Amino acid sequence: MADQDNQFDLVVIGAGPGGYTGAIRAAQLGLKTAIIEKGSTLGGTCLNVGCIPSKALLDSSEHYSMAAHGDFEMHGLKISGFELDLPKMMARKDKIVKDLTNGVQFLMKKNKITVFNGWGTITGKNSVSVAVQGGEKKELQTKNIMIASGSTPIDLPFAKPDGKTIITSTEALALPKVPKHLIVIGGGVIGLELGSVWLRLGAKVTVVEFAPMIAGAGTDQQTAKLLHRSLSKQGMEFMLNTGVTGVKSTGSSVTVSYETREDKKQGTLEGDVVLVAVGRKAFTDKLGLENVGIDKDDRGRVVVDAHLRTKVPNIFAVGDAVVGPMLAHKAEEEGVSVAEFIATGHGHVNYETVPGVIYTWPELASVGMSEEQLKEKGIAYKAGAFPFAANARAKAIGMTDGQVKVLADAQTDRVLGVHILGPRASDMIAEAAVAMEFGASSEDIARSFHAHPTLAEVMREAALAADKRARQS
Ligand code: FAD
Ligand code: NAD
């Protein structure tokens, strides 16, 4: 029998955004909560090897690229004698990660959440064991369990990562030098973001993508095409509709074999590093699911119902370990929803308004349905688009690439989707998500004040354009 210290209302397995956010909400609602993390720091993929380090490098490399490509000169700033200090750029990124992971540790303490460092295994409906370093095991008793074990990169059978020439996103965040030629397998989010980092720092970057478009099948195609054009202009090379068939490494260089999907043309690419970015899979290994009869689907994800409850009613699962977009904010909302469901009997996530962002330059951000999805569902819609090139603030900043597109129901005018390619689209999309959460019409957006001159006015103009009333900023 566990002692008082090892008895909880909720034990969370995994301290990524889903787990730590869920644990905080549970503690706020009065549940005695513990969290188990096998990694040496809290924060999961997102803080340690995902969202945060990638964005730190994207921001640093953007500055470098602006200096290198004369973007400051248009502001009347002549820059000479600057050079890349890659170790310092990496150290800045590492410091940001350290500050934020320490911040999560602090939040655990502040909310009186007990942290166990070790591997968590479900041993029964109400028990979890933690294998701590040194082989010692702790048995925890708990009324509820939240699985938040996250995801890992998908491997290609013929391109097993060696950490040096064949790498995953984790190594791409910490390369010791700028590759001469980085070959990226997969033109999805990771390929485009980390490809951008190294392109900006001087690498030749070739993206080989199986699909006929970049940015993933669910992305609004017109917006994805605009991004494709922008990245091509920056020098990123794309081989679309092309499958990689083999990767050979000599230890210092790589040869990638490919075949085009339409005319079956075969060829090879020579590079020094290959980034495999063909998606991620749920990490649900050795969790002890079999001990309680919890099912996984054909992609290894924990099967849950609308309340994120597994077959065992007091065991829940959230984030990358379950179905849905693999995004930190989706994991967070699910963690919160589970905590609220346990404490109050109510919990809800609105999957219709999960924004997605690709932090390239320009950024691509969207929420709701794409034009293709609306057509597929047979929903009559109207579209309004407005370019950043006609916006005063974008001109002042000197960043005029892209547009905002608002899609609204043809009859009711309710906003059904917003797709942005442009500067700080990641921040702008929040307005669209809030509008959609409140069931706003495009007229609601158009009639709401947007300070002048701001990038946000492009959203307003696009909403006006949906009613054929666009003016100009
Ligand atoms: P994770 O963050 O993966 O955390 C799971 C944790 O569980 C891990 O720390 C793991 O060690 C631990 N764990 C697993 N099993 C056990 C066990 N048995 N015992 C103890 N601990 C265990 N998303 C965004 O929204 N925005 C972005 O900008 C973004 N950028 C990304 C960039 C990259 C390079 C990558 C790889 C991902 C990015 N993501 C981004 C995706 C985001 O990181 C994930 O969606 C998010 O981390 C999922 O959160 P989670 O809590 O479900 O899992
Ligand atoms: P992804 O699913 O976004 O893209 C993978 C791409 O690889 C797809 O376009 C696919 O067609 C292509 N592909 C698959 N097999 C291939 C092959 N053999 N040859 C060529 N192309 C192939 O996956 P990802 O980029 O690895 O990212 C994984 C997850 O991490 C995503 O689901 C994403 O949600 C999350 N993530 C999010 C962010 C963000 O929110 N900004 C950033 C990074 C990662």
Query: Mean of the per-residue pLDDT values for the chain?
Result: 96
Query: What is the position in ligand 1's atom list of the atom closest to the CA of 173?
Result: 34
User: Best of 40, 149, 316 to mutate for ligand 1, by most ligand atoms within 8 A of CB?
Assistant: 149
Domain 4-153+281-349 classification at class level: alpha beta
The separation between the first and the last C-alpha atoms of the chain, rounded to the nearest angstrom, is 69
pTM score, whole prediction = 0.97
> How far apart, in whole angstroms, are the C-alpha atoms of residue 236 and residue 248?
23
Within 6 Å (CB) of ligand 1, which residues are found?
13-19, 36-39, 44-46, 50-51, 54, 119-120, 148-151, 169, 190, 283, 287, 319-321, 326-329, 331
What is the per-residue burial (b if ≥16 Cβ within 10 Å, else e) of 34-43? Answer: bbbbbbebbb
Identify the band that residue 470 occupies on the pLDDT scale cut at 50, 70 and 90: confident
Q: Which fold has domain 356-466?
A: Enolase-like; domain 1 (3.30.390)
**Residue 133: its pLDDT value, please?**
76
Indicate whether 12 pLDDT > 70: yes
Indicate whether 164 pLDDT > 90: yes
C-beta atoms surrounding 80 within 10 Å? 5
203-223 confidence digits (pLDDT tens): 999 999 999 999 998 999 999
Identify the band that residue 468 occupies on the pLDDT scale cut at 50, 70 and 90: confident
For the record, the structure tokens of 358 come out as 């690709």
- Residue span(s) of the chain under CATH 3.50.50.60 come to 4-153+281-349, 166-278
Measured in Å, residue 46 CA sits from the centre of ligand 1 at 5
- What's the residue count for the chain? 473
Residue 90's contacts (CB-CB under 8 Å, 6 or more residues apart) are 174
Indicate whether 124 pLDDT > 80: yes
Q: Which residue in the block uniquely carries the two structure tokens 């909880």?
A: 8
Tell me whether residue 419 is one of the annotated catalytic residues.
Answer: no
Measured in Å, residue 240 CA sits from the centre of ligand 2 at 14
Measured in Å, residue 189 CA sits from the centre of ligand 2 at 5
What are the C-alpha distances in Å from 73 to residues 66, 80, 390?
A: 9, 11, 22
Strands 137-147 and 127-131: antiparallel
**Cβ-contact 278, 263 below 8 angstroms:** no
For the record, the structure tokens of 94 come out as 């590492």
Measured in Å, residue 171 CA sits from the centre of ligand 1 at 16
Indicate whether 2 pLDDT > 90: no
In sign, the C-alpha dihedral spanning 171, 174, 180, 182 is positive
**Cβ-contact 446, 467 below 8 angstroms:** yes
**Residue 471: its pLDDT value, please?**
74
For the record, the structure tokens of 281 come out as 């899979």
With a pLDDT cut of 90, the percent of the chain lying above it is 94
For ligand 1, atom 3, the nearest C-alpha belongs to 150
Within 6 Å (CB) of ligand 2, which residues are found?
156, 185-191, 193, 208-211, 216, 243-244, 277-280, 325-327, 357-359
> How far apart, in whole angstroms, are the C-alpha atoms of residue 304 and residue 424?
35
258-286 confidence digits (pLDDT tens): 999 999 999 999 999 999 999 999 999 99
- Residue span(s) of the chain under CATH 3.30.390.30 come to 356-466
78-118 confidence digits (pLDDT tens): 988 889 999 999 999 999 999 999 999 999 999 999 999 99
Task: Output the CA torsion 195→363→372→303 (10° steps).
Answer: 70
**Residue 423: its pLDDT value, please?**
96
Indicate whether 1 pLDDT > 60: no
Average pLDDT over residues 295-308: 97
Q: Which residue in the block uniquely carries the two structure tokens 């009186």?
A: 112
Indicate whether 473 pLDDT > 80: no
Which ligand is in closest contact with the Cα of 55?
Answer: 1
| CATH code reported for the domain at 166-278 | 3.50.50.60
Nearest to 275 by CA among 191, 400, 368: 191
351-402 confidence digits (pLDDT tens): 999 999 999 999 999 999 999 999 999 999 999 999 999 999 999 999 999 9
Nearest to 9 by CA among 173, 145, 150: 145
